[in-house]
Amino acid sequence: QMASFRPTAHYATRALEAPFGVQDLTSDIAIRQWATLAASDPERGLAKLQNTLEQATPAECARMPFGARQALVEELRRLAWPTATFHEAALCLALLAQSDDDRPSLKASDVFIRLFSIWLSGTAVPFDERLEAIDWLVTRGRVVFLRFAVRALTQSVKHDPCRMHVDEPTDATREPEWRPANDQEELACVHVALQRLREIAAAAPADLQADLLEATRYGAMRLRHSATRSIVADLFLTIRRALPSAQETLRGQVAELLDRETRLWQELEPMDLAPIESLHAELEDPSLLGRIRQWVGSFPWDVARQPDLNPLARELLDTPDGLLQVLPWLTSGEATGAWRLGECLAALDPQGNLE
């Protein structure tokens, strides 16, 4: 608990008019006092905190005492529940998350991201209204904010209905937690999240590649559903255009989905498989390096599933310059089937002419 008492609204309003600057972020007493007063006048308290966090640098926020930081994150998590204070509380969490560290704790970034779950989000605010906070981050254009936006939207795309292990407030007058009324409303939320991800991906800097590929890793499963297949495919292709170096990873994600569907699940009709196979074909790189990355980069342990590398080996023997081009990658550790390719080269070149 922030304190053993709740001040009156009149006292809190007067107290919150006092200056609260960047220097107060390093004061355990000042932060805990803010949290206690904000409980009585949350809108004024959040406005003051947001203004202070916007002025502070991540380094200044990082000097915040650990216990006070935990208390602040917990209070912001509580204030993100009501409709009236969600937006400001979410932005304060995002601003504070810039200075998260690796210590086991209740992190501002984790709390912020969880607010964008479709189920068990910890807020009464409808999903489409929550996206105003995402738009605020995107318009700032900073990589750290774009990263939070992508991770939050990825949380929306996941089917991950679980809640952080934090005791929930038990106020009987509290607004009910928002949840989709039916499957159609849930799909609409996922669709909107995928659209936002596509918009971010269209102009994504290279620093966002890992986060966007994490989003597509979860989004790939949505290719199995006709309602979201088109927007997911568009997201994959948008990322490929903006970040060409992500192409093979994107192709691999679709290939893995196709492999599991054809070998294990066997639930989709041919008409549903066709557009996924078409997307996979579009993501393939026809160049020699592209084909080697595809067939040698993700080499299955199961011998029965291993591809025939003899055609690639023959092509490398016929074009020695091509082998020189791909040799750095073949020896990088990413080529899990490099040994098998070497065996094929040796079998096709018993005289050792390649040397």
Rounded to whole angstroms, the Cα distance separating 14 from 213 reads 49
- What pLDDT, on a 0 to 100 scale, did the predictor assign at position 114? 95
Assign residue 205 a region (left: φ > 0; alpha: ψ between -120 and 50; beta: otherwise). beta
Confidence check: pLDDT of 13 > 80: no
Residue 159's φ and ψ, nearest 5 degrees, are -100, 85
Residue 125 tokens read as 């605010």
Indicate the pTM of the whole model: 0.87
Name the range with the highest mean pLDDT among 46-60, 87-101, 333-347: 87-101
Confidence check: pLDDT of 3 > 70: no
Q: Which of 41-50, 171-180, 223-232, 246-255 is predicted least confidently? A: 171-180
Angle 252-254-258 (CA atoms, 0-180°, nearest 5)? 110
Q: How confident is the model at residue 1 (pLDDT cuts 50, 70, 90)?
A: very low
Confidence check: pLDDT of 12 > 70: no
Q: What is the number of residues in the chain?
A: 355
C-beta contacts of 276-283 below 8 A and 24+ residues apart: 276/223, 276/224, 276/229, 279/223, 279/233, 279/236, 279/237, 279/254, 280/251, 280/254, 280/255, 282/237, 283/236, 283/237, 283/240, 283/247, 283/250, 283/251, 283/254
**Which residue in 248, 246, 212 sits closest to 232, CA to CA?**
212
- Cβ–Cβ under 8 Å, residues 127 and 192: yes
For residue range 271-312, what is the model confidence (pLDDT) as tens digits?
999 999 999 999 999 988 889 899 888 877 777 788 889 998
Q: How confident is the model at residue 122 (pLDDT cuts 50, 70, 90)?
A: very high
Rounded to whole angstroms, the Cα distance separating 220 from 124 reads 29
CA contacts within 13 A on the Cβ side of 248: 16
Q: Which of 27-41, 92-106, 116-130 is predicted least confidently? A: 27-41
- Cβ–Cβ under 8 Å, residues 91 and 136: yes
- SS3 of the chain: the string is CCCCCCCCHHHHHHHHCCCCCHHHHHCHHHHHHHHHHHCCCHHHHHHHHHHHHHHCCHHHHHCCCHHHHHHHHHHHHHHCCCCCCHHHHHHHHHHHHCCCCCCCCCCHHHHHHHCCCCCCCCCCCCHHHHHHHHHHHHHHCCHHHHHHHHHHHHHHHCCCCCCCCCCCCCCCCCCCCCCCCCHHHHHHHHHHHHHHHHHHHHCCCHHHHHHHHHHHHHHHHHHHCHHHHHHHHHHHHHHHHHCHHHHHHHHHHHHHHHHHHHHHHCCCCHHHHHHHHHHHHHHCCCCHHHHHHHHHHCCCCCHHHCCCCHHHHHHHHHCHHHHHHHHHHHCCCCCCCHHHHHHHHHHHCCCCCCC
- Cβ–Cβ under 8 Å, residues 199 and 157: no
For residue range 198-207, what is the model confidence (pLDDT) as tens digits?
999 999 999 9
- What pLDDT, on a 0 to 100 scale, did the predictor assign at position 5? 46
- What pLDDT, on a 0 to 100 scale, did the predictor assign at position 18? 59
For residue range 230-275, what is the model confidence (pLDDT) as tens digits?
999 999 999 999 999 999 999 999 999 999 999 999 999 999 999 9
Residue with the bigger pLDDT between 105 and 138: it is: 138
For residue range 312-349, what is the model confidence (pLDDT) as tens digits?
899 888 887 888 888 888 888 888 889 999 999 899 98
- What pLDDT, on a 0 to 100 scale, did the predictor assign at position 4? 45
Rounded to whole angstroms, the Cα distance separating 130 from 192 reads 12
Rounded to whole angstroms, the Cα distance separating 121 from 144 reads 22
Angle 197-200-204 (CA atoms, 0-180°, nearest 5)? 125
